[in-house]
Structure 1
Amino acid sequence: VAILITLLVGVAIGLFHGFGIVKMGLPPFIITLATLTSLRGIGLLMTNGNSININSDSFTAFSRNSFVGIPNLFWMVILVGVPAYVFLHHSRWGRYLFSVGSNAEASRLSGVNVQRTIYMAYTLSGLCAAFVGVLLAARIGIGNPTQAE
């Protein structure tokens, strides 16, 4: 349940970033930096600046084991990275994403829904960041708001 909540919070943060960029017109760097600072502060307040030990062997076991001599986390890179590559380089939405990132106005004039593309990009980014956060916490066995700075 906690993993699902973490992933949903990541999606919500991504949607918030998309909203700040699309609807409020904030520069992406500013909205993401402000969110980073705010959420890190909230995390530090919630934990009193301390690390939280994760004592669940079932949570940490996957990340510490290996399959055919290769760590499971490397297999996760393959399972996520290969489809992401195919998605980004061989799909219409991937081309839209590169197009909007290069020149949003030219993309809009070409018929790309720039706002939806931005929302989707930041939502997917938030989901991926939350997923990596879960894997990192499982690997090192602690939760810390300043982890992976």
Structure 2
Amino acid sequence: MLSQQGPLLIFVLLFLFASFRYTYFLSTYNMISFFSYNTIFGLLALGETFVIMTGNIDISVGSVAALSAVVATRFSGAGLVPALGMALLVGLLIGLLNGWAVARLRIPPFIVTLATLIGVRGMALIISGAATLSTSGNDFPAIYSGTLLGIPVPILLLVVAFVLGSILLHYTRFGRHALAIGGNEEAARLMGLPVVRIKLLVYVISGILASLAGVLLAAQTYTGNPNEAVGWELNAIAAVIVGGTLLTGGKGTLFGSLVGALLLGLILNVLNFENGYGLISLSSYWETVIRGAFLLVVVLLQTRLAGQKKLRAMVLSPAPKAPPV
């Protein structure tokens, strides 16, 4: 329970603290900037959750986002729909490649996605000519800066992705099968569950959401930079683990991953405000250190809680009966 509700409680307390301490924390500009920017990491975390809950991992999402940003920028002159469509096609194809190698060839997912991370980053450099491209479509940046019914488009995209993902996880056989595979893949295979198809689909979901994050990045910065999104895969994995999903699979929560992504973003936002007060002075390079330290604390706590739960189950379980003589 603590591993699931703890991040939400910390987020609420930290949000309240910042609201009272910093004058402009609740300003419209800061709130829109905070939630719109962290939408990118929320999308990455949602896709990573599906992969991790099956007991696998995808460390290529940062490179996929960078390549998608470059591709979207290349096609931005044709309009928003072609740019978005081509970028999502990139995520779909890379997801299929990862899923096929992991599920069909049974290559360890870390090795597969590490190779993809390197290869896809190289493709981004080739397509962009190792240069930063500029968007040329007038309507393309609207996917990040535009609003619908007064709500920023990135936030709406994240909400839609979360709702669809939750329906998929909790109300379809796909979700139940994914959790079963993460719990015990061999048992799931013996039960006749479509293990290959499920693993293929989770990587496709991860690839598509990573591409969407890349499109938002390009629309935000008006550029396609092949060197962007470095280390984003670690941010996504950190958010998933902070949210309570087990790295070993079999247990996952999209809401927890979303809270984890927002919590990590809120910590950095608070530190930026604190820098302005002059009490502390941390450069942007400390962001990675803070994320890593926070992740380590959460993993240690998660491991300890899991150990206590296992010990409690052993103590409370009835003793086996002696065989009849």
TM-score of the superposed pair, with normalisation by structure 2: 0.43
Q: Which moved more, 1:39-48 or 1:112-121?
A: 39-48
Q: 1:37 to 1:90 in 2, by over 3 A?
A: same
How far is the alpha carbon of 1:17 from its aligned partner? 0.8
CA-to-partner distance for each residue in 1:10-64, whole Å, 9 max, x for gaps?
1111111111112222111110111111110121133232211113220002310
3-state SS in 2 of match to 1:59: coil
CA distance in 2, matches of 1:123, 1:56: 28
Q: Deviations over 1:108-129 (max 9, x none)?
A: 1222110111111112221222
Q: 1:97 to 1:19 in 2, by over 3 A?
A: same
Structure 1 counterpart of 2:108: 27
Correspondences of 1:1-149 after superposition (within 5 Å): 1-149=82-230
Structure scoring higher RCO (CA < 8 A, sep ≥ 6) equals 1
TM-superposed CA distance for 1:9, in Å, is 2.0
| Matched residue SS, 2:226 | coil
In structure 1, C-alpha distance between the alignment counterparts of 2:96 and 2:144, rounded to whole Å: 28
Q: Which has the larger radius of gyration?
A: 2
- Distance in 2 of aligned mates of 1:138 and 1:98: 35
Give the direction of change, closer, same or farther, for the CA distance of 1:139–1:32 in structure 2 (3 Å limit).
same
Q: Return 5+ residue gaps in structure 1 as ranges.
A: none
- Percent identity over the alignment is 37
Count of aligned residue pairs for this structure pair: 149
CA distance in structure 2 between the aligned counterparts of 1:42 and 1:75, rounded to whole angstroms: 30
